């Protein structure tokens, strides 16, 4: 997403950019400095404060801009006309589904308004926004938010393009209210928000489940802990936190903010006593203390937060023969300590210097292991350092670290290169075989010794982790339990998708886990009272797994004469068109360079062929489905446009069909309420005994032993976890048949055996012979019996 797109305003929308000429601007961009709700004539917030809030939300990602503005207005300190705002929002919905979302969104805004004032002022207001938007998956990811924030700091006037209103965008409105609607489902009461805020302040809550975001997943352990626990990286990992404890290198560079200019603009209701206006001391004691306590007293010189300098940090590691062994371990530990420091927010790149310079990454255990083994046959890296500084990196906003062995500084050649480039080399770090680190800083042409860190290597390296023998690996860390391709009930449809398709009336999804999924939509549901939220959306079944495809470009799906799935991919940036037979794995591609195909052409499927199509093109490229890939120039067909419109309309119906899946389960147990626990969640009976997941606030009385994806209780019962969103229950009591329960964090769940089903129709296959039963009946017959078996014969922890 571009910066302009995030802040974009629309005609006849509930908010717009406005300009307050009386407000000074440090950025030099004084227009469009205010957000205004024109229909209800209300000012919401000035741009500097909005940017400050977005800065605080960077680490968790940004919600849609309209959602944030509505939350800002609902938490305003003073009069708010919520009735008028809600009436204004009610004008936009045009679909039944959106009306339901708006009802939930307005309910959530009312909850925010009902919060006590202390939760909506000063830093608590920031914590409130961090809390309510902490699980947002609709807006901008944390990585993109950081990039957009930096771009704004460099070019603030880009917001001028966003202030030029575009025609009303229904999808933007839908995202704005959908975010608030989802927050309303998370916080059923005002007290829930307060409780979560308190938890957020004392100990940020970390989700146990793996939420796929931008096609990556995070491990359960801290990276430094992983380094320490791996025998191959233990010596590096064990040093990092000790280096952190003594490191004095600034992780963030702050420059002075706006200076006071005098006059009314420099008065505030916050400040130090020595900056209080003399007129305040003329009040009698009671009034004076009251004005201070209520933040009504006036001070001179407003508080301006310092501005963060945006720079890029580069670390150069010496890999010459003299930097081998312990000095090299210290060098890599120092580099990782700088890169992974909790307060480090700047971009950082790492290069190794030897005969030449090579860019490396230190983000995974394997990368650290591989790069620790790099060694160059040269005695010093002066030539590589000189080449790096002269030819490749001449930007002024760089902060360069050079890490080498203390003995290498005896080289006159290296000394000269460092001295000649002392204005470019910000920091020099030297290592030694006895564990001594020295940090130097170049400032105004001179080298200054900042600090010395002496690492007690013998103590730190005293107890390295032992390599697990084959026997222990086969028992404690044995083979992962095999999982079926599908179950009697459907999987929850994942939120993250690479592409969606409509082929011959059937819906397919290419998921972020590289699976081809089949789903469907329906307006029929058997229990209106319970499951109206899922009256159209359905779960999915897996057609094919482990698809070898890069998640970029455009995709189209079809079947050949043998009814095998053919996935066509078009990458305009590489000018490459390819086909992959998902069943046989046969692959063919074709380079389009020199064929005169405009990059705006779109990959589509129509009438037994793929096409590179454009609405205004007279001739288009036809791509065969059978055999190796080939192109044929054919005349454009008007029927294609009609078909695309129909397909686009149908696929848009899938846009809200994704569910958050509890995919990474660390432990399973039973809590004092005799409910099944899975990581931080418990399985409980909700409305009309319908199963659902909620946060568990109790410890476990009985815990299962984990072996990969299988959890075994002491009396023999087992639960097998499937990260795609399913649990399999195998009781030690053979009178209880195998049954299955879905693991979606949102909405009601489903339970099934191979013959019976209960719960949300969302999980019911389109063509099924399962006999539908009530949730209460299935719960008592299967899940309750499963738990009672464990309680009666199992061992408490």
| Structure tokens belonging to residue 760 | 């949300």
Identify the DSSP state of 766.
S
Name the band, by pLDDT with cuts 50, 70 and 90, for residue 476. very low
| Structure tokens belonging to residue 665 | 């389960």
Identify the DSSP state of 564.
-
pLDDT at 97: 64
pLDDT at 175: 86
Same domain, 733 and 643: no
Tell me whether residue 492 is in a domain: no
Same domain, 92 and 187: yes
Which residues are bridge partners to 519 per DSSP?
507, 540
Which residues are bridge partners to 254 per DSSP?
308
Q: Which of 272, 303, 334 is where one domain is finished?
A: 303
Place of tokens 């686009």: 648
Percent of the chain whose pLDDT exceeds 90: 22
Of 312-326, 340-354, 781-795, the least confident: 340-354
pLDDT at 508: 95
Checking if the pLDDT of 591 tops 70, the result is yes
Same domain, 40 and 177: yes
Same domain, 327 and 437: yes
| Structure tokens belonging to residue 397 | 């906003």
Same domain, 13 and 33: yes
pLDDT at 106: 87
pLDDT at 93: 67
The residue among 519, 523, 497 whose CA lies nearest residue 510 is: 497
Over residues 490-524, the pLDDT tens digits come to 999 988 899 999 998 899 999 988 999 999 887 64
Same domain, 243 and 273: no
Over residues 179-205, the pLDDT tens digits come to 888 888 888 888 888 877 765 443 333
pLDDT at 212: 33
Q: Which sign, positive or negative, has the C-alpha torsion 680, 682, 686, 690?
A: positive
Pairwise CA distance, residues 44 & 64, whole Å: 16
Same domain, 723 and 625: no
Q: Which of 594, 624, 652 is where one domain is finished?
A: 652
Checking if the pLDDT of 221 tops 70, the result is no
CA distances from 530 to 535, 539, 749, 765 (A): 10, 17, 11, 18
Tell me whether residue 611 is in a domain: yes
Percentages of the chain per state (helix, strand, coil), in multiples of 5: 35, 25, 40
Checking if the pLDDT of 377 tops 80, the result is no
Name the band, by pLDDT with cuts 50, 70 and 90, for residue 397. low
β-bridge pairing 691-695 and 681-685: antiparallel
Pairwise CA distance, residues 397 & 706, whole Å: 50
pLDDT at 466: 59
Same domain, 590 and 690: no
Tell me whether residue 41 is in a domain: yes
Which residues are bridge partners to 499 per DSSP?
510
Over residues 80-97, the pLDDT tens digits come to 777 788 777 877 766 666
The residue among 267, 128, 262, 147 whose CA lies nearest residue 201 is: 128
Tell me whether residue 65 is in a domain: yes
Checking if the pLDDT of 252 tops 70, the result is no
- The stretch 117-129 carries a mean pLDDT of 83
Same domain, 265 and 248: no
Tell me whether residue 519 is in a domain: no
pLDDT at 203: 32
Tell me whether residue 308 is in a domain: no
Pairwise CA distance, residues 566 & 628, whole Å: 11
pLDDT greater at residue 209 or residue 506: 506
Range of the domain at 53: 3-202
CATH of the domain at 436: 3.40.50
pTM given for the model: 0.45
Tell me whether residue 603 is in a domain: yes
Checking if the pLDDT of 783 tops 80, the result is yes
Q: Judge contact between 729 and 779, C-beta under 8 A.
A: no
Over residues 35-82, the pLDDT tens digits come to 888 888 888 888 888 888 888 888 788 899 888 989 898 888 766 777
Checking if the pLDDT of 470 tops 60, the result is no
Same domain, 447 and 554: no
pLDDT at 739: 97
Domains in the chain, number: 5
Same domain, 716 and 752: yes
The burial of 767, by beta-carbon neighbours within 10 Å (0-12 exposed, 13-18 middle, 19 or more buried), is given as: exposed
pLDDT at 531: 42
Q: Which sign, positive or negative, has the C-alpha torsion 157, 163, 169, 174?
A: positive
Over residues 399-452, the pLDDT tens digits come to 888 899 888 888 888 888 888 888 878 888 999 888 888 888 887 778 888 888
Helix axes 326-339, 234-246, angle to 10 degrees: 60
Tell me whether residue 370 is in a domain: yes
Q: Which of 234, 268, 303 is where one domain is finished?
A: 303
Over residues 745-769, the pLDDT tens digits come to 878 899 999 999 999 888 999 888 9
Same domain, 626 and 700: no
């Amino acid at each position: 997403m571009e910066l302009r797109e995030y802040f974009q305003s629309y005609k006849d929308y509930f908010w717009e950019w406005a300009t307050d000429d009386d407000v000074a601007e440090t950025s030099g961009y004084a227009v469009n400095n205010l957000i205004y709700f024109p229909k209800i004539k209300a000012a919401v917030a000035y741009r500097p404060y909005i940017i400050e809030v977005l800065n605080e939300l960077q680490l968790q990602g940004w919600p849609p801009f309209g959602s944030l503005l509505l939350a800002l207005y609902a938490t305003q300190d003073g009069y708010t006309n919520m009735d008028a705002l809600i009436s204004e929002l009610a004008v936009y919905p045009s679909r039944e589904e959106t009306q339901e979302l708006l009802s939930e969104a307005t309910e959530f805004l009312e909850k925010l308004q009902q919060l006590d004032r202390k939760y909506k002022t000063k830093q608590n207001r920031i914590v409130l926004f961090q809390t309510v938007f902490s699980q947002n998956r609709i807006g901008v990811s944390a990585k993109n938010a950081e990039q957009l924030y930096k771009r704004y700091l460099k070019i603030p006037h880009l917001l001028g393009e966003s202030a030029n209103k575009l025609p009303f965008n229904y999808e933007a409105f839908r995202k704005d209210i959908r975010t608030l609607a989802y927050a309303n489902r998370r916080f059923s009461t005002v007290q829930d928000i307060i409780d979560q805020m308190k938890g957020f302040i004392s100990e940020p809550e970390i989700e146990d489940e793996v939420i796929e975001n931008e096609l990556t997943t995070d491990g359960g352990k801290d990276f430094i802990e992983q380094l320490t626990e791996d025998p191959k990286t233990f010596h590096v990992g064990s040093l990092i936190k000790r280096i952190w404890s003594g490191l004095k290198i600034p992780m963030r560079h702050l420059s002075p903010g706006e200076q006071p200019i005098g006059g009314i603009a420099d008065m505030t209701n916050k400040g130090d006593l020595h900056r209080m206006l003399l007129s305040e001391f003329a009040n009698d004691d009671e009034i004076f203390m009251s004005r201070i306590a209520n933040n009504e007293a006036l001070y001179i010189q407003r508080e301006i937060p310092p501005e963060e300098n945006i720079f890029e940090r580069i670390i150069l590691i010496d890999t010459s023969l003299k930097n081998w062994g312990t000095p090299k371990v210290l060098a890599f530990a120092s580099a990782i300590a700088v890169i992974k420091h909790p307060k480090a927010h700047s971009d950082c790149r790492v290069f190794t210097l030897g005969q030449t310079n090579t860019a490396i990454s230190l983000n995974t255990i394997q990368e650290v292991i591989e790069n620790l083994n790099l060694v160059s046959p040269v005695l010093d890296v002066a030539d590589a350092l000189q080449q790096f500084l002269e030819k490749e990196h001449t930007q002024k906003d760089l902060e360069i670290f050079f890490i080498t062995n203390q003995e290498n500084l005896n080289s006159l050649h290296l000394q000269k290169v460092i001295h000649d480039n002392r204005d470019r080399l910000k920091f020099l770090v030297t290592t030694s075989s006895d564990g001594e680190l020295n940090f130097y800083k170049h400032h105004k042409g001179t080298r200054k010794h900042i600090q010395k860190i002496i690492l007690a290597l013998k103590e730190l390296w005293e107890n390295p982790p032992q390599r697990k023998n084959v026997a222990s690996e086969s028992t404690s860390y044995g083979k992962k339990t095999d999982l079926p391709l599908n179950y009697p009930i459907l999987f929850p449809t994942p939120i993250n998708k690479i592409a969606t398709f409509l082929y011959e009336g059937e819906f397919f999804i290419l998921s972020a886990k590289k699976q081809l999924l089949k789903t469907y939509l329906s307006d029929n549901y058997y229990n209106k009272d319970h499951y109206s939220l899922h009256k159209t959306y359905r779960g999915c079944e897996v057609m094919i797994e482990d698809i070898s495809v890069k998640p970029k470009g455009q995709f189209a799906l079809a079947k050949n004469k043998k009814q095998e799935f053919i996935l066509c991919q078009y990458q305009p940036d590489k000018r490459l068109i390819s086909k992959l037979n998902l069943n046989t794995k046969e692959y063919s591609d074709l380079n389009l360079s020199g064929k005169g195909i405009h990059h705006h052409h779109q990959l589509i499927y129509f009438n037994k062929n793929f096409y590179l199509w454009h609405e205004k093109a007279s001739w288009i490229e036809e791509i065969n489905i059978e055999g190796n890939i080939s192109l044929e120039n054919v005349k454009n067909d008007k029927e294609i446009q009609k078909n695309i419109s129909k397909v686009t309309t149908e696929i848009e119906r899938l846009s809200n069909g994704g569910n958050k899946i509890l995919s990474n389960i660390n432990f399973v147990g039973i809590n004092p309420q005799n409910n099944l626990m899975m990581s931080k969640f418990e399985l409980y009976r909700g409305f009309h005994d319908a199963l659902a997941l909620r946060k568990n606030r109790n410890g476990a009385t009985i815990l299962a032993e984990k072996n990969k994806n299988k959890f075994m209780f002491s009396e023999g019962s087992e639960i097998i976890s499937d990260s795609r969103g399913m649990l399999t229950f195998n009781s030690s009591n053979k009178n209880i048949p195998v049954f299955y329960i879905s693991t979606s964090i949102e909405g009601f769940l489903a339970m099934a055996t191979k013959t019976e089903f209960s719960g949300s129709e969302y999980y019911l296959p389109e063509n099924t012979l399962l006999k539908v039963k009530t949730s209460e009946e299935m719960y008592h017959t299967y899940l309750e019996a499963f738990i009672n078996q464990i309680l009666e014969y199992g061992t408490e922890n």
